[in-house]
Amino acid sequence: MVHRPRTDSRQFSRRSRDVLVALSIAALVATVGDYLAPANAQLWWANAAWTLTGVVGVGGVAAARRRAAPSDRSGWTLLLGGCVTWLVGSLLWSIYGVAGFPASPNGADFCWLAFAVLAALAVHRLGPGRAAVSRTWFEVAPLVIAVSALLSALLWNHISGSDLAVPAAVTAVAYPIFYVSTALVMLQAVVSGALDLRANRGLAAVLVGLVLEALAFILWSPLLLTETYVVGTNVVDALWGVGMLFVGLGALSAGPPRAVADVDRVSQRRGGVLSSLTFVVLAVAQALEILADAPAGVELALGVGMSVVGATLIARASMLRHQQTVLFDRLRERERELEDANRRLNEESRRDPLTGLANRLALREDLIELAARSERYGETYCLVLCDLDRFKDYNDQLGHQAGDRALREVAALLESHTRAGDCAYRYGGEELLLVLHGQDGDAGAAIAERHRANIEAAALPHPANPPMEVLTFSAGVAAAQPGETPAEVLLRADRALYRAKAAGRNQTAIAGPDQPLGPAALSSLT
């Protein structure tokens, strides 16, 4: 078996490029020959140029399709189909040059009109900015109607004075309308940001080529209507060929299509540029036609075009206002959500995650406010510092998870029996603190004793707390004295708590004079 060497893809691409460049040079020579050759040979030179440029277009776009990403391949496929129809139209035109030209619309007309449609669809598919490209159709459709009205007004005298049959005249007018519509789709895609051409010269050349084709057909249409077109005497011959060379060679070097950054915002900002420019052009054209005393049909066509574009601009403004309202509503909703989140975070930051009681941060803030109210209005308050008896032994025997559950249960019991306006805090470890508003020492002691009794009555098992072997706590109560700070009140409550512990636990002690505890009392606290 003979093994054939595999052709390197880069070598194949280089060879294809060299062939297309050679064909392009030959096409340019044929284009020059179209203008310099004798009259009886000009059609041959023109047909050769158009056929060669068609081959270049097909080859260049086919190469672009082969190397395109799967997401872009459908766009290049549509443009390749357009170039094929263009080439078929050129071949039919060459056949007509020998066999005689049939009346329009003929096969070549349909092929060249199909090229415009496929090119517009290709640009739509190549645009990576899908949202912006979708809006392109909404914004271009009214422009197509307006430009059709403008072209009809500009060609009015040619149409009215043409001896062509109606189908042929319609075909002649359809050329500029189809190709200008394609150019509008391309321009709108670029203006809206759906296609970013700044770093993609190849794709920019493709679009330039399509614009040149549109210009050629705009210039060709009045020649068809007046039956004055002669090969080799008009610039349209060169525009057709050069435009297709731009398409083919541009596609050969085109990079992947890219949208501009933040394409939706760019589209909203620039999307109305073409509509505004079209409206200005229509207004100027109508003013000139009125000054020139143009036929009523011309003024009517321009008026229709201006009305359509004006309605488009009004609709766009309304749409932007609606979008702005939606964005403001979303912004307000986000602000509300942010406020709720901040409020929840603030609440969570002031809550002890284990017990759900207010934490030391909340206590510090509340004591500052409490001191200010006491100083300003003379309000009294009482602090009750509670400590679970022998809780270290509880954790050692039953485990810290059991200790956590016990803390949660005690906290729930404490909070459920706390008066409205008062607040319970987790002061630290197994220590809990009650802030009682408007209470003196005796009232505070009575409230603390009720809480102590409730915890004892709950009978939560505590084997290391004899003699009852249930959870209990000791409490120290201190009422604020005139001129005393919350820190000083809390210190007295802490010392009262130590006295309750020293006296045997499971009891309440009221703070007396500010005196330190003795060594014997301290050594007895475990």
Q: Please tell me whether the peptide bond between 486 and the residue prior to it is cis, using omega within 30 degrees of 0.
A: no
Phi, psi for 89 (deg, rounded to 5): -60, -40
Model confidence over 171-225: pLDDT tens digits? 888 888 888 878 777 777 777 767 778 878 898 899 899 889 988 988 888 888 8
Model confidence over 283-306: pLDDT tens digits? 666 566 555 555 655 555 656 655
DSSP letter assigned to residue 261: T
Q: By C-alpha distance, which of 232, 230, 231, 229 is closest to 36? A: 232
What is the C-alpha separation between 382 and 40, in angstroms, rounded?
A: 118
Beta bridge partners of 381: 437
What pLDDT does 224 receive?
85
Q: By C-alpha distance, which of 301, 116, 146, 151 is closest to 225? A: 151
The token pair at 174 is 């359809």
Long-range contacts of 403-410 (CB under 8 A, 24+ apart): 404/354, 406/460, 406/462, 406/471, 407/354, 407/355, 408/354, 408/355, 408/356, 409/458, 409/460, 410/455, 410/460, 410/471, 410/473
What is the C-alpha separation between 282 and 31, in angstroms, rounded?
A: 35
Is it the case that residue 7 has pLDDT exceeding 50? no
What pLDDT does 1 receive?
40
Of 13-22, 382-391, 415-424, 513-522, the least confident: 513-522
What is the C-alpha separation between 151 and 180, in angstroms, rounded?
A: 10
Cβ-in-10-Å burial (0-12, 13-18, 19+) of 296 comes to: exposed
Q: Which amino acid is at 118?
A: L
What pLDDT does 523 receive?
38
What pairing do the DSSP bridges indicate for beta strands 508-510 and 381-388? Answer: unpaired
What pLDDT does 350 receive?
86
Starting from the edge strand earliest in sequence, which strands make up the sheet with 508-510, in order? Answer: 423-428, 431-437, 381-388, 473-479, 508-510
What pLDDT does 2 receive?
42
Model confidence over 477-491: pLDDT tens digits? 999 988 889 999 999
Is it the case that residue 407 has pLDDT exceeding 50? yes
Question: Which strand (E) or helix (H) includes residue 72?
Answer: helix 70-99
- Quick check: 387 and 452 in contact, CB under 8 A? no
Q: At the top level of CATH, which class does the domain 360-523 belong to?
A: alpha beta
Sign of the dihedral through C-alpha 458, 459, 461, 467: positive
Q: By C-alpha distance, which of 483, 508, 482, 513 is closest to 497? A: 508
What is the C-alpha separation between 25 and 52, in angstroms, rounded?
A: 10
Model confidence over 17-64: pLDDT tens digits? 889 999 999 999 999 998 898 888 888 999 999 999 999 999 999 999
- Counting runs of H as helices and runs of E as strands, what totals does the chain give? 18, 5
Beta bridge partners of 508: 475
Please say if 375 is a catalytic residue: no
The confidence band for 276, taking pLDDT boundaries of 50, 70 and 90, is: low
Long-range contacts of 480-487 (CB under 8 A, 24+ apart): 480/374, 480/380, 480/381, 480/382, 480/383, 485/371, 486/367, 486/368, 486/370, 486/371, 486/383, 487/367
Residue 231 falls in which region: left (phi positive, over 0), alpha (psi -120 to 50) or beta: beta
Q: Which residue has the higher pLDDT, 305 or 255?
A: 255
Q: By C-alpha distance, which of 294, 446, 264, 428 is closest to 360? A: 428
Cβ-in-10-Å burial (0-12, 13-18, 19+) of 412 comes to: middle
Q: What is the mean pLDDT of the chain?
A: 81
Question: Would you list the DSSP string of 511-525?
Answer: --SS-PPPHHHHHT-
Q: Which of 213, 379, 430, 431 is catalytic?
A: 430
Long-range contacts of 516-521 (CB under 8 A, 24+ apart): none
Model confidence over 313-352: pLDDT tens digits? 556 656 666 666 777 888 888 888 888 888 888 777 889 9
